[in-house]
Amino acid sequence: MKESLNYWIGIDLGTSGCRAVAVDADGVTLADARVGLPPPERPAPGWSQQDPAVWWAAVCRVLRALAAQLPGRRSAGLAVDGTSASLMLAGLDGTPLGPALMYNDRRAITAAAAIDRAAPAQSPARGPTSSLAKLIHLAAEHTGQQDILALHQADWVSGRLAGRYGRGDWNNALKLGFDAARLMWPAWVRTCLPTHVRLPEVVAPGYPIGTLDPALADALGLSSATMVCAGTTDSTAAVIATGAGQPGDAVSCLGSTLVLKLLSPHPVESARHGVYSHRFGDGWLVGGASNSGGAVLLQHFSLDEIRIVSAQLDTTGASGLDYYPLPGPGERFPRYDPTLAPRLEPRPADRGRFLQGLLEGVAAIEAEGYRLLRELGAPPPRRVISIGGGAANPAWTALRARALGVPVVMAEHQEAAYGSARLALSAWPASPAACRDRT
């Protein structure tokens, strides 16, 4: 079949659904499919878990739906992204040994304390929600079983698609303690784990790990020559989707919270501010997240009000208000202060002026965040690409551009599934034979 009829697939496993996107060799979207996921189970306060079988059923449904939309075309490659630090245990054949602990599960408090005694001060593996803390906690429940695999959400789904398990990627492995600078597992990580636990072999995101299992390919309507590539985290896939690729390219996600990502030629770390770096091609993706963002706006305005009132704002002038908008006490980045109170006074009677003050306040936090990243060693942003619900607000974009002093543009693509499809496409033109050779 002609190469022009090939397509590449990206699969995004999010918190509420699974989405798949198919693109052609030029990155043009050909088809997409989405199914919902049930919410994670919460058997106790601070717990959040999910049956991996739920993920697999959703993945199969979206892949069948894509294939049905693309008759006459051939799947050439695919990659999977998943929520960061969602971890499970499996046997060597990939059989889950219980539910996965999701990214926000906080039960591994004792394990986190053990990590604090062994890990470097700046390690992203610190804290009860880290992958390593979850692994230590889960491993203690399976002391009688030998050769247990530690797998992230994307690792397990990719392994099941290829029919082989035990590989992970730079980005998912970061909160498991992997040293992405030296590309190795540090000795201190091994000292935290029992001998019956196997850490994944870590490869670059997009690295071919095998071809699609033939029986599975037939059941899904895909080609058995489809290259299964190592995946990444959902947030990194979203950055890939935007096309950011040069040092100084910044990506601001204007969702319920404000998340900043900045491409840097070297890693930047500050555990105190929750700043850490994912390896990103030949560079690094430095990130930080504020508690400010869209959730604060929705405490005072409906979505329709924000849209209508924003369209009436005169963004050439300032509101004169000096807000630090937070949904409640506590901030993590760019100011680390668990007790920091929201600053939302004075409250003008004019709703438009009040909204502008809120938008300016979040923009000021964004600018302060990028200044902090620069102080920590990252380059200044040369442009900011906007994603998330707030990216489509022209008035907010204008206010942010003024606060940031650099061009601010809305991303043409921002879906994590699209970024994973581009990740799979980047592995082309490795042949299926080359794929097998490299594994």
Q: Which residues contact 174 (CB under 8 A, 6 or more apart)?
A: 124, 125, 180, 276, 278
63 and 12 housed in the same domain: yes
180 and 250 housed in the same domain: no
User: Among residues 6, 427, 10, 68, which one has the least CA distance to residue 236?
Assistant: 10
SS3 content of the chain, % helix, strand, coil (to 5): 35, 25, 40
pLDDT per residue over 166-210, tens digit each? 999 999 999 999 999 999 999 999 999 988 999 999 999 999 999
CATH number, domain of 29, equals: 3.30.420.40
59 and 150 housed in the same domain: yes
202 and 270 housed in the same domain: no
| pLDDT confidence of residue 15 | 84
278 and 172 housed in the same domain: no
77 and 51 housed in the same domain: yes
Q: What is the enclosing helix (H) or strand (E) of 367?
A: helix 351-375
User: Among residues 297, 285, 269, 275, which one has the least CA distance to residue 396?
Assistant: 297
User: How many other β-carbons are positioned within 10 Å of the β-carbon of residue 373?
Assistant: 27
| pLDDT confidence of residue 429 | 52
402 and 432 housed in the same domain: no
14 and 133 housed in the same domain: yes
3-state secondary structure of 55: helix
Contact of 81 with 234, CB cutoff 8 Å: yes
398 and 256 housed in the same domain: yes
185 and 142 housed in the same domain: yes
Q: State both tokens at 249.
A: 């390219």
Give the span between the Cα atoms of 37 and 15, in whole angstroms: 7
pLDDT per residue over 269-297, tens digit each? 998 898 999 999 899 999 999 999 999 99
| pLDDT confidence of residue 272 | 87
Mean pLDDT by runs of 10 across the 439 residues of the chain is 81 94 97 96 96 98 98 96 96 96 95 95 93 96 86 98 96 96 96 93 95 95 97 95 96 95 96 91 94 96 97 95 96 94 96 98 98 97 96 96 97 96 81 34
98 and 112 housed in the same domain: yes
Structural domain tally of the chain? 2
Residue 324 lies in domain: 245-411
343 and 358 housed in the same domain: yes
Give the span between the Cα atoms of 418 and 76, in whole angstroms: 15
Q: Based on the number of CB atoms within 10 Å of its own CB, is 122 exposed (0-12), middle (13-18) or buried (19 or more)?
A: middle
